[in-house]
Structure 1
């Protein structure tokens, strides 16, 4: 097991009725900005519950944060924070809203252009506004971690940042608030969580048995419960298990003391920025063939994955590895997420723009061994057509 420094200060309030806790969680006298997305929280009752819990607080709103939150939209939020002297943020929504709120929390306190957060690798985040979250879409784990992703539409860039200054103070997770999610978002969320686990688990062994077993348990739970979330959307226990899996997939716990990959995410980010695919769609496209292209480097963990997650023990090693990857693809498809570029109307002409974007963003040596070169990325994209 590798050395590690684990820190996670986020308080989790899980279960039905927990939104009412906002009345005591948000500081008395705070000037609060509630940030949210396209307005679905007004239809599903979450908005009314939040506002009722915040009765007596000074609350202003900023809506319209899009999937893959844009720098352009978030800059308007930062301007509003400054003009209204906001001192507490509340993100109500899924990972995109929470990621955007993290960017606003840090960017509002910078004297320079907040995009510098990415150019300076977040080193200039010395402080951030305090914030909490009410999660309505389990997927990204942003509700209990210190990272975020923002897209700049004008330059077609999707960039990530991380800082201990942007951990949420608290996050409220009520599985019942996910009952009305569209099928597409449920499927995407399960695939997203699954891929997050794989980026931390499927690398190479370092005798980290605790982390491996945690990761495998989460993967098995998603395989069991994911399809049920589609077929029986109001099963509270199913939704609770999916929601908690998505949080644990990226709250840092399974990633400590082990090597991590993230090459699939970096290639996927470019596909999202260039072609506006959902984040989970890009992961479902890239991950299986990233595993195929790097099967030798990942052989030991692929065989472990095949046996412990998919129960594959018969046949030679290569047969088991391919069967495990094929099972992964079928699971993604079962969740309603296509696994080929063609499923989204993209052909061979999309490969070179992605490669050029990777080169431009200095993503030329990716993966746990830094051996995912531009040539490897190109091969993976071509395999994914």
Structure 2
């Protein structure tokens, strides 16, 4: 196992009805900006519950954060913060709203061109406004980590940053708030959490059995409960366990002391920026191909994955690896997330555009060994035509 430091300061407030406790976690004299997306929080009751919980606070609002939060939109929130002297932020929505709020929190405290945060990386961040989150869509794990991904419409770029300054102070996770989600978003969330886990697990053995077993448990839970949530969409207990699985998949715990990949995510970001696909859709397209072209570099962990997650013990090593990759693709399809470019009306031209974007972004050394080239990206995507 590799050396590591681990610290996660986010307080998780989990369970049905927990929104009512919000006021206890925000200073009473704070000027709060509530950030949210397209308005679904108003139809599912979350908006009213948050406003009621913060009745004694000064609360302003900023709506319209997109599913792939845009830099241009978020900078409008930064202007509002400066104008109204806001000193606490509250993200209410899914991972995109939380991601957007992280950027806003950092940009509002940054003395310079805010694009530096994404262009250069989170290391330029020296401070950020404090913020909390009320999560309504389990998927990204953004509610308990220090990462954010933002798109810039003007240049068709999608960039990520990390900083210890943008951990949420707290996150409220009420699984009942996920009951009204469209099943497409539920399926996306399961796939997102699954791939977050594999990015930290399907690399190479590092003698880290604790992290391996944690990761395998999450993957098995998602495989078990994913179909159940589609079959029983009103089961709040199933929703609760999927919600917690998504949080645990990317709060840093399973990634300590082990090598990490993230090639699938980096390629997927380019697909989203170019074609507007949902984040999870891009992951479902890219991951099977990446596993196939990297099967030798990942052989040990792929065989472990085949046996421990899918129960594949018979056949040759290559047959078990093929079956594990096939089962992964089939599971994503079962969750309603197509794994082929053709499933989104895209063809070979999309591969050319994505490879060009990967090259333009300087993504020439991806994966846990930093040796995946644009040519490899092309091969992986060709397997998902």
Map of 2:280 onto structure 1: 280
TM-score (norm 2): 0.99
2:193 counterpart SS class: helix
2:89 counterpart SS class: strand
Does residue 125 of the first structure (1) align with residue 125 of the second (2)? yes
Map of 1:92 onto structure 2: 92
Map of 2:248 onto structure 1: 248
- Deviating beyond 3 angstroms after TM superposition, the runs of 4 or more aligned structure 1 residues are none
Cα deviation, residue 353, structure 1: 1.3
Map of 2:74 onto structure 1: 74
Where does 1:61-210 land on structure 2 (aligned, <5 Å)? 61-210=61-210
Cα deviation, residue 321, structure 1: 0.3
Cα deviation, residue 291, structure 1: 0.1
Map of 1:347 onto structure 2: 347
Q: Distance in 2 between matches of 1:9 and 1:297?
A: 35
Q: Distance in 2 between matches of 1:228 and 1:269?
A: 29
Q: What's the CA shift string for 1:105-149, capped at 9, x where partnerless?
A: 000111212111122221220000000000000000000000000
2:122 counterpart SS class: coil
Q: CA RMSD in A?
A: 0.6
Q: What's the CA shift string for 1:283-309, capped at 9, x where partnerless?
A: 000001100010000000000000000
Q: Distance in 1 between matches of 2:150 and 2:371?
A: 26
TM-score (norm 1): 0.99
1:123 counterpart SS class: helix
Q: Distance in 1 between matches of 2:189 and 2:222?
A: 10
Cα deviation, residue 352, structure 1: 1.5
Map of 2:236 onto structure 1: 236
Check conservation: 2:119, 2:159, Cα contact below 8 A: no
Segments of structure 2 that go 5 or more residues without pairing to the other structure are none
Cα deviation, residue 23, structure 1: 1.4
Map of 1:368 onto structure 2: 368
Q: Distance in 1 between matches of 2:346 and 2:218?
A: 32
Cα deviation, residue 231, structure 1: 1.1
Cα deviation, residue 15, structure 1: 0.2
Q: Distance in 1 between matches of 2:271 and 2:120?
A: 23
- State the aligned residue count: 385
